[in-house]
Structure 1
Amino acid sequence: MMAPHNNSENPLLKAAYRFLAIANTADNEDAVFREFVTAIKDVSGCDAVGIRTHHDTDWLTYSAHEGFSDAFLGKEASLHLEDDRCFCTRVFHQQTDPAQPFYTDGGSFVTNHADRLLHDPVLSDPGPLRGTCIQAGYRSLGLFPIRSLDQVLGLVHVADSRPERFSPDLIVLLEHAALQLGVSIEKTRALARLRGDSHDMASPVHQRGNQLKTVVATLNAEIRQRRLAEKELKQSRHLLQLVFESISDPLILMDEKAQVIMVNRAAMKYYDSKSVETALGRFCFEGLGQFSTVCQTCRIPSAVADGRAMEFERDGFRDWEKREVVQLFPIKDVSGKIQGAVMQVHDVTGTRYTQDQLNRLQTQASLGMLVSSVAHEIKNPNSFIAFNISVLHGYVTDLLPVLDAHAAANPDFEVSHVPYEEFRRDVFKLIETIDHGSRRIDLFLRNLKTLGLSRPKIKCTSLFLPEVISKVLDTVRSKIEKTVSRFEVQIKEPLPAVYSDAGIIEQVILNLLVNAAQAADKGDAYIRLIARLSQKDDQRVILMVEDNGHGMDPQTQRQIFEPFYSTKIAEGGTGLGLYVCRNLIRDIGGRLYLESEVGKGSRFTVELPVNAPGYRENGNTGGASLTSTDRK
């Protein structure tokens, strides 16, 4: 069992010590009754509280009360212990049966739905109950016997018009309060007898000794009751710890200052913490996280202090490849005062993966229909355009000598009101533009194929990344160097050989470099390509493309990997490049993510496994296949 750092801050112990304080300081019965009624009403939060006592007669009367109406007291002020049949007289005579749901092992009567009792067949014999409390509209009722040793001195009567007001912890607390009240009554009566006899100096010495023995016995009884209360609280805490341990998710119980009171084994394993003692009584980032300061952007301490329930999703605290949901449940006492919170961490990696796969399949199904429709409507006409461009170029080339001769003989010769020399230049530019547009349409259609349900077959081979990067640079270096003032390539060897698809890696690097070049907006613009081994895992390789371009705002960052979303629509962007890149990287077991800040630039990071998970060679072809259960 893990003990809290400071028991005095436990709400149950606070209430129990309050009752002890009243019992120790009150010096007459009236004060004891008034203060106990006020304390019980405050701690329980119920509408009405009264104390009934018995004074050597056949009547049970209220010695103090708060919250009961005059009409109710007119009917219930006194009860005859023999003639009046109700739960009060039953509890006073200890005629209770723990087998019934409304009686406790301690001899108390408690119900959270009093209106149901009038129809209980068990209570119809040997006659109807008075039911005054129920008729007055009280739904939560509690009667707790006030004892001194084996004698019942009276009852604590607690009532509320709302159902479900008595929790198990509150019932235990009120039973202990009634026991403390019994001890206090005996003590005040003994002190009253001592004060009444103090003027009689002729009293026999043995009578004084007997009175002192009574006081000592009373004090001893009080000590026993206090120990009993502490034992019950320890048992309650042990039960709470058992409940904590029965839950497989990490659980942390914190006080109102967000300091750890209790943790379960799952939480100790989650934080990789070896000692419970070092965690208790300290903030979670100290005792569990082993940090000197609170985690950046952590919202938990403020939420605990405000008593707010909270739920948010984040990357794994220890394993960033996992996704987890953190839930915070505030704890308040019956008066609504904040006492602390319970934090639960739930691993949702599998759930999120399943959701992503389902969303992906739904998207692919919709896009597959779009692909087939667009390909059918565009591909054939574009094929005609692409075929006829070369024919048109030939026709123009054959025609130009005739036009050149005519223009030489006629210096003012114009075509469509354009000087011939300008026309001659423009006609080839137009043909080149048409050809470029046709090729862009063809590229767009090829990209669309990656959106359908049928993915290109992935071919994994053993790769040396510097060689792959070199092939990409041969294609794109000149274009990038015309765009930025500095283009840096940093390959931090040694890099292990990677078993993956070279075409996918080349396509992704090329796309990221071109995007970075298009983001350049400064005179000192730079692009940096970095390849290195992961610092966290020697079985993963990192590829980063950094730039100091215009960067992206949070809204753009959230949408940048969505299909058909583009910040370069005016420049002809299709919004498919990054979407395709992320899907391809996922297909080879990797991860692509973005870090960006407006005005400072962006960094795209690709994490590649040294061995693509789930792939196996297919015969001698060098091809590979991937089972859906192996994808991460």
Structure 2
Amino acid sequence: MKKNHKTPTDAGLRRRAEKIIAETVAGGPDSPGISPEESASLIHELRVHQIELKMQNEELRRIQEELEKSRNRYSHLFDFSPFGYFNVDEKGIIEQVNLTAADMVGIARGSLIGKAFTRIIFRDDQDIYYRNRRALLESETPTSFELRLLKSGGAEFYARLECLVITDSETGFRQMRIAVSDITERKHQEETIRKTTRLSQERAQEITALLKSAKIVLSTSSFTKASRKIFDICRTLTGAAAGYLELFSDGGEDHKIVFFEAGDISCSIDTVLLMPIRALREKAYRFGKVVYDNNIFSGPWMEYLPAGHVRLESILLAPVMIHKQPVGILGFINKAGGFTKNDIHLITAFTQLAAVSLRNDRMLDALKQNENQLQKAYNEMEKQVQERTRDLTRSNQQLVMEIEERQEAEKLLLESRSMLQKVFDGIAEPLVLLDRDMRIRVMNNSAVAYFGVTDSRKVVGEICYNAFKGKTDFCEGCRIPLMLSKSGNVEFERKGFKNPHRYERVFLYIVKDRQGATENIIYRISDITERKLLDKQIIQNEKMAALGVMVSSIAHEINNPNAFIAFNLPILREYIEQLIGMIDHDRGNTPAFELCNMPYPEFRKDVFRLIGNLEHGSERINMFVSNLQEFSWTKYKGKETWVDLKALSKKAFDICRSKLKRTVQFYIDDIPETFPQIHTEPNALEHILINLLMNAAQASDKADSLIKLSAMTGETWLDHTIIEVTDNGCGIDAENIAHIFDPFFSTKAPNDGTGLGLYVCHDLVTGLGGRIEVETEVGKYSTFRVILPDMERRSENRVEEKI
């Protein structure tokens, strides 16, 4: 609901208007008055004017209300603005402040008004405020600046002040309006950025210094010069006042001062004098780590320093390590503020560069020691290098010359390594070079193929038993660890490392360094399977030769008497039959007639029984002699020709068919029709198959008995043709398997065999240059495996190798 507000001005205007109307209607002394028509017109105009005034009055009231609303909105925006606002007079007294500013400083608004603005400014920053306030009041140009304000508890925060001058147009009174924003977070970020930038710059300086030192190592062959340059760079970077570099002997008993930099510090100690390794130096030497002490002057180490030594405030000692052994110490002395952990990392990096320089220097010394041995071979090349070096010295100074010498040395090292690899690869037998930790350094192509390594580069540096067997400990029976403690070479025989069916001879050669210590081991493997087989064959042949002579003698000595007996027995039988006929005619009907204390009928039967026994004995002797002759026949070797193994297997089966049908339920001939022909003696191979099939038939003891004949081609010329005869019979126990190829050995009944079948097989296979193997399990199966070589291919390969 609207309210009618009448101001004093409105009432005065009304009275003046009424007075004018009254004078106009009544007329003055000189006025002739108005007519009724004029009076009615005037009243009408007044009424219209009255209505207009009312409308204007209503509009003014509406505008006033809008202004009040705007003022309220402005007040709300002012109080809750994200910026703090202060109105400060020319004397610096706070006249007005919004809620945001009061909240910023943590002081109630009422407590701020009437107080000096400097009360909430950090004391050290008040000059900033006074200086900018004076400039603002003089120029009345808006300005901004940053300083620290205080909160109610005394805590400070960074603020940005945006200031301008407000002047009252009526009174001319001036105020400063200050907009405050909290920039503490931004300041912290800027501080973080500054610190990060500073650290980045420091890291950049360190990296630049390390790169510069690395270039020095590459370009300077002299360790003394390179180490001194590295030391100077590191000393400048860390801020150390002094320092030194010393090198140790192999045992650490002696040391040599390479250089000593005292800086501005006086030192009367002769650096040539030897000092024992103790105190902090002993700690750095023993543990191989950087050590430092920033309070060494009051520490326990001072008692070890001789009189006249540099006064020590702080010290850092970094061991120079080569192959994990300390060979020297790089020391830094008296850094202002003391050494830090960052100094440890930094100096460690510089020390490593010094170690690289020392190692390079020693390598170059070693190369120079070998120059006399290479002088004759490279005399002309050395002359050209020297001439070229002099040219480069004049044009490119000492740096280029040293780089060229280093590159040449590296080239020779690479060529030497390449030549060593070529020599290794030229050896047909597997050859491996191991270091004293049994890590692989070099392998030839034969070793790569032997151990089945796909990429020789991946196994270099690996321990041999891990690379070749995937183990974490020594292989069983390995002799390399044992020989490391001996001084001589070792050779021994063993079963194949990869193939236990083969035989190898292993040679271990020790390679010593200049001090006589074992440095490397050459590991050579020689396949002696063929030689072993030949040795066994020679021994077997010698046995057979002796046995053949004996068999021939026995057969001769037995055949002659037995032939006499066999020849005379029919005659004797004929004589006896005639005598018996005569006795039958004379006394055959006499019951009491006796001969040799026996009734005649019984005597008659006994005589013919004795003659039959003599005939049977003669036959047995003849059969034994025949077996011995068959035994001697195994030494016969007929003409070799190309043989169709499938056709030969069918022929052997036909011979054994009746025996197999009686004892075997299933027979499988698994030899392919397309199996390649083999070059061998067909009669011997047929005899081998017959004996193996008969032996398998005799071992069959199950209702579902089975014999399987199969053949395959091996991977090498020694294993070219592999023939297997497998049965599911009784198997062979461990006690008998060692004797199954001995002559006359049999586990069958006395009338079931002579014990020569497997012996004959073994001798025939050996005569063909092959071997026979057995795989069995008692009660389950037996497999006899005949392995024949490809003699033709072997001879061709040997001809190629000679060429």
Q: Could you state the TM-score of these two structures normalised by the residue count of structure 1? A: 0.50
Flag the structure with higher helix content.
Answer: 2
Q: Which has the higher contact order (CA 8 A, sep 6+)?
A: 1
Task: Give the structure with higher Rg (CA).
Answer: 2
